[in-house]
Chains A and B, each alone.
Chain A
Amino acid sequence: MLNPDSVGRTFEGANSITVTQSEIDTFCAVIGETNTTVAPPTFSIRISLEQSQSILSDPSIGLDWTRLVHGDQKFEIFSPIKGGDTFTCSSTIENYRVAAGNEIVTVRSDLKSGSAIALSSWSTLVVRA
């Protein structure tokens, strides 16, 4: 179970991530996108979920990443991602409830370039009972 003290808290990732053009090209090829100058709108899921998982896997937070199902996903893009961009990621547990024994957690991930937020994404994750 999620530690109730974690709700509403923001956890900062320690590492920065650099996006390569090759990663964007590979992602674009799968969906048939030929213009690879900026990343497609959902590309950042690759970074944000991995980062959130590493940031929020601390046992004191209490989120079990092995039993997660993706419930919904939302992106707000302030500045499209390009090859060579470097980001830090912070994760905030915005919402938490229990329904029919399942834990439903909404995690917001902010990708920041310096102090400016390039992209915020919200993942609602269901931890199955």
Chain B
Amino acid sequence: MIEVGAALPTHTFTINRELLKAYADASGDQNPIHQNEEFALSVGLPNVIAHGMLTMALVGKFVTDWAGGSSNVTHFGARFIKPVIVPANTDVDLTVSAVISAVEDGSVTLDLTATSAGVKVLGMAKAVVKK
């Protein structure tokens, strides 16, 4: 049912170093903090971290799957509050869930939650879809 308070099924994406390399190539963002552990440590990070925009792209995939395609998303926003930490040779999770927070004529607002290793990585994450 599409009604305020209804929860969408949770989905878990897998993030690893290979995906970070693929996203760097697809997005053009070759910042070494997303690929080079030595560099990441040298700037004070705990390890290589995922691109915030990769996290957002995967949460976007969760939204578009529910919305019936990319063309049905009209608004999408999030704050990057914690990094997704990606050690070498490790699959880490990005677990995404959502609750419907508004239903208006022809549009639905989703309040999204994204965690990795139990830590909330996005804040104020919302999407509006045509439904």
Contact = CB atoms under 8 A, between A and B. Distances in A.
Interface residues of A, number: 30
A33 interface: yes
Contacts of A76: 74-75
Main secondary structure of the interface of B (DSSP, over half): helix
Interface string A11-47: 0000000000001001101111101011111100110
Interface string B28-51: 100000000000000000000000
Given A39-B70, A76-B75, A70 B23 contact: no
Contact of B71 (A45, A72, A80): A80
A45 B52 CA distance: 11
A86 B11 CA distance: 34
A120 B70 CA distance: 16
Nearest to A47: B28
Interface of B: 19, 22-23, 25-28, 52-54, 56-58, 60-61, 63-64, 69-71, 73-80, 123-124, 127
B28 A26 contact: no
Contacts of B70: 33, 35, 38-41, 80
Interface string A67-79: 0001111111110
Contacts of A45: 27, 53
B69 A38 contact: yes
A40 B79 contact: no
A71 B27 contact: no
B130 to A, nearest CB: 10
Given A42-B53, A74-B75, A75-B77, A30 B23 contact: yes
